[in-house]
Structure 1
């Protein structure tokens, strides 16, 4: 049978869920999933359990929209998951957020458009920030774990006849890393030699 499922969330451990639980209970929610986690946290265990529990005809209810999501993009994604499983969504504080009504469905479509805009804005800001950082000389990606000086030492030891394991042990790295460094050096030397001969 279809049921009303509540979702209550607070951001910090010190806050209480009591008021939300009481409101959801009065609204007819027999089952209430309770969470103490930030709305920005993508890994909300109870929310995941709720979505898995939704069946055709079930109605997911929250006291306010911000209990479910902190951004348009997240709200649209979560409500979309619920409706794709045949469930419905309703916010007590925002009655327009009701997917059972034509107005609610229209608002969901609008949210989808806003979520796309938000995603594009985030992508643009990220790209601009990255380009600005590169222009200012900031090196992107993980910092190199082995300095250029150590690389030269590794290459020299290999040329002196030391084994991969011996070098790896002395530098505290894996034999595979030693192999990549020395193979890369040989490859670079070969290309340089080829250009010189041309």
Structure 2
């Protein structure tokens, strides 16, 4: 039986394109989820691995939909192979990843994907640090009126909980303002 697995990482993304591609391949059962691929502890992935049977073939549109790092990609491939299940990644030319050639390609592509993900995270962090060094402030802008009200209440002897209730903001906001005085 042809089985499809589709995954997106964020709420704003949609599995529709992956679903259409998998259905076009004749996948009669689809496992779809909206969760990060950073680890293998994903409900639909685990359900798929539990439910597949010898002779089934699992299709994914791209390797990074299955796993974000080489170790996890190989772990999933091994779990399927141990059950006698094929694994085909459409962006690798529909090569069965559990064949010798497919395994080699799968390992190299997974390693490159993991490397690229780490580089993106590194560049993002470097950009954030540079922006902060140049005075860019991240997060919600400070509401000067709210800030002044919190400080006034604090100076009058009100506790943080009372200030939050009086002004109508969170205790966390009150705490951050007071700690910043």
Please give the TM-score of this superposition, normalised by the length of structure 1. 0.56
Is contact 2:160–2:174 with CA below 8 Å preserved after alignment?
A: yes
Structure index of larger Rg: 1
Unmatched tracts of structure 1, length 5 or more: 26-30, 189-198
- Alignment deviations for residues 166-196 of structure 1 (CA, whole Å, 9 cap, x no partner): 54432124568657866x58xx8xxxxxxxx
The answer for the alignment partner of 1:54 in structure 2 is 49
The answer for the alignment partner of 2:35 in structure 1 is 42
Kindly tell me the number of residue pairs found equivalent between the two proteins: 164
1:126 CA displacement:
0.8
Unmatched tracts of structure 2, length 5 or more: 7-13
Please give the TM-score of this superposition, normalised by the length of structure 2. 0.60
Is contact 2:95–2:102 with CA below 8 Å preserved after alignment?
A: yes
The answer for the alignment partner of 1:6 in structure 2 is 3
- The match for 2:138 among 130, 140, 164 is 140
Q: RMSD between aligned alpha carbons?
A: 4.4
1:132 CA displacement:
2.3
Does 2:150 match 1:154?
A: no
- Alignment deviations for residues 39-85 of structure 1 (CA, whole Å, 9 cap, x no partner): xx5369xx9535423257464433xx5x2456796485774453242
The answer for the alignment partner of 1:33 in structure 2 is 30
